[in-house]
Structure 1
C-alpha cells in the first residue's frame, strides 16, 4: 500500500430478487465510507454525510422460480412496495465522486477498499445493473481491487469453534441494517485482533530480551 494514500473502506450492500444478476432485479443499494478500523467518516454537523442508500424503482417485479424466495422476503420487509412506488434513485456514481472530492480536498489522495459480506456478489450486481458507477471517474481512480470480505472473518471464527451469528439479531435484509451489522462486527474483530497482536508482539520482545 502506498504511504501517499489514505486507505479507507467502502462498505457496499445490495438487495436483489435473485442470486444471479441475469435472473433478477436490483432493488436497493447502500454504501458507507469508514476508516480502516470501521470508524465512520463524518463532517461537522452531519454524521451521515458518508452514508448512502437508495431504492431502485420498478414498474413491475418479475416472479419466477429464481426470484420467488427473495420476493417473499422483500415483500415482508416492505422493500417491494418501496421499489414499486420509488422516485428516480439518487445517482450512486455522483454521490461517490462528490464524497471522494470532499475527502481529497486539500489533503492526501484516498484509496477505497470495497468491503462487506460476500462483497463480490454486490459488485457483480452493480456491474450488471449500475455500470456507470463502476466505470465512472471516482471508481476508476480511487477504488482498489483489494477487498475486505466479512465472510472470511466469520468462516475463520467458525473454524476455531466460535459461532459468529450467536448474538446477531434477526436480519431485516435492508441495506442500512446489513451495513450496520457488518461495520459493527468488523470494528469488534479489528479491536480483538489489535489487542491480541499487541500481546503477541509484547511476548516476542520479552523472549528476545531474555535471550539477549
Structure 2
C-alpha cells in the first residue's frame, strides 16, 4: 500500500504489551495506520506534543472540530479500530451482555493482575524470596482463565474476542518469567490458547520489526495489507 499522509498515526513500541494489543486490534479490524515505532529512551517530539504523558500506544486520528483526535489508552485504540470494522465479530455484537463482561475481565487484568505480575516479574529479576508467593498471587487470575477455557474454546465464547486479544500480550509476558515452571504448570488449556496465537500469521505480522521512525521518518503502513 502506498504511503498516505492522511492515515491515522500510531506511535508504538514493539514489545510493549499495551502497544501490542492496539496493533492486534488494528490488524483484525483491517484498518491501516502509519506506524511510528520508537524506543522509550528516544521519544519523538511529535508524540510528546500531542500526548505529554509519553507512553504508548498513542493514536492520532481524524479531526474533531479542526483538531486531531488523540487516543492515549490501548483499550480505547482497540475499540476505535473495531468500531470502524469488526469482520470477525470480536465485540460479539450479536450477544449484547458479552461486551460488558469482556470489559470487566480486561479491567481486572489491567488493574489487579498487572499489579501482581509486576511484583512477580521483579521478584524473578532480582532473585527475591517472594517469588513463589508473588507467582501464586498471579495464579489466582491465571486459574480463572484456565477454568474459562475448560468451558469454551476462547475466554468468553467459542470464538475469538476483544477479551482474548486484550489479555494475550500479558499472558505471553507471564509465560516468559519462569519458562520451565510455566511449561509444566497445571494450565494446559491456557498454554494451547496462547500457542494458537503465537503461531498465527496475525502474530507474525503484529510483531514484525520495523525501522525506528526517528531514523528516517519514513511512512510505514501497518494493518490492512492481508
TM range (shorter): 0.3 to 0.5
Q: TM-score, normalised by structure 1?
A: 0.32
**Larger RCO, structures 1/2 (Cα 8 Å, 6+ apart):** 2
Which of these two proteins has the greater Rg computed from alpha carbons? Answer: 1
Question: More strand by proportion, 1 or 2?
Answer: 1
Q: TM-score, normalised by structure 2?
A: 0.31
